[in-house]
Structure 1
Amino acid sequence: MDKLDNEINDLKGFIADLKADRAAQKEKEKKESWTKYTSMSLVFIAVLAAIATQWAGKYSSRTLVELNNSTYDQAQASGEWGYYQANSIKQNLYEALHEIAPKETMAVDSKGSDLFKTKIAKYEALKKDQKEKAEVLQQQRDEAKAKALDSSKHGSGMGMATSIFQISIAMGSICLVTKKKWLWYLSLLLAAGATWQMVSVWMH
């Protein structure tokens, strides 16, 4: 009989311990229920980080495209200025020949004088056309450089936002391991700062 009583008491003790363990487990789960929200926030932050990374890549691509356009326009403008210089030399040569040609010959042979004047006028017109083209190309070059600089600034801003998002995710991950709630708050604060940075880049 005593043996049966002892077994019943052991069983009661075991059940009491089991109930206590379950109660402690529930209490622990209740205290750490905030970790579910931490995990959800990390997923959301990761999505924002992916968006920022994608936009940083787009801005970098735009920067490269505009720098290529600027280089191309500069090369074209240099070519036009080269033609301008060549025609200027030819025009100066005809002007010099016209000056040193004997006046008597020019007076007798008006065709020679007209030829000089025609050539000089031709090179003057070519110079004017090439100057206009070169100036347009230089303006396009400057516009492309300005766009490249603007895209570079935007890309740098998005890169900064991406870095802050990554730090935020790291903080949140450490928080889940260490169960320190203040790290989660710090992670959210960093994510808010990165979001503000990202929106600021978009708005400007």
Structure 2
Amino acid sequence: MSGHGFHVHGPHDHELEHAAHGNDDFASKIAVMTAIMATVGALFGYEGGATQNDAAMFKNESAIKKTEASNQWNFYQSKSSKQNLAELAMVIPGADVAKYKADVERYKSEKEKIKKDAEALEEESKTWEHKSEAALHQHHRWAQAMTAVQIAISLAAITLLTKKKWLQYASYGVAGVGVVLAGLAALHI
């Protein structure tokens, strides 16, 4: 507890303080690269969140269009029922056959337009669904890129503590993988 005049430093605390206040060129390079990687990771995270939101909005739009198509199919079904009733009424003795025949033709005509509208809404729903899937795939790429950068930052911290040159290169390599994944996300691949 440092508030009571007693504080215990861990070995890594001492190393970090020494690196921060010393003229260690190795530590300075790692610190700068870590800051750059953190900034790049934040940008990747932002893009990942934006594409996730897009995917959700597109999925919602798809559901709305699917509901509208369902409503049209219900309307189509009600016209079919009315058409069937008019066809039955034509065979009732004494019924006004001409009137019911005109009703049947009107219902057939109305059903064709309703059917086209329902089919168009179904296609629109599919288009929004495909957009959602594409945005979700892009989101996954951004998330992979951000994860790679976070791993690179962790490796950089370990590099700073161990002063192992190979870990420095491993950190840069993993960060490079993150940049490649971000490039794939940006290109929608």
Range class of TM-score, shorter chain: 0.7 to 0.9
Q: Quick one: which of 80, 89, 97 aligns to 1:113? A: 97
* Identity within the alignment, %: 25
Partner of 2:176: 192
**Structure 1: gaps of 5 or more residues:** 1-28, 107-111
2:92 matches 1:101 = yes
Structure possessing the higher radius of gyration over alpha carbons: 1
Partner of 1:180: 164
2:38 matches 1:54 = no
* TM-score normalised by the chain length of structure 2: 0.83
Partner of 2:16: none
Alignment length (residue pairs): 167
Q: Quick one: which of 113, 117, 123 aligns to 1:139? A: 123
- CA–CA distance in 1 between the matches of 2:164 and 2:140? 33
- In the TM superposition, what is the alpha-carbon distance from 1:101 to its structure 2 partner? 3.2
- CA–CA distance in 1 between the matches of 2:76 and 2:157? 65
* TM-score normalised by the chain length of structure 1: 0.78
**Structure 2: gaps of 5 or more residues:** 1-21
Partner of 2:140: 156
Q: Following superposition, which runs of at least 4 residues in structure 1 exceed 3 angstroms of deviation?
A: none
- CA–CA distance in 2 between the matches of 1:183 and 1:120? 80
Q: Quick one: which of 84, 94, 107 aligns to 1:123? A: 107
- CA–CA distance in 2 between the matches of 1:56 and 1:85? 43
Partner of 2:30: 38
Q: Which moved more, 1:121-130 or 1:60-69?
A: 121-130
- In the TM superposition, what is the alpha-carbon distance from 1:49 to its structure 2 partner? 0.4
- CA–CA distance in 2 between the matches of 1:125 and 1:51? 55
CA RMSD of aligned residues (A): 1.5
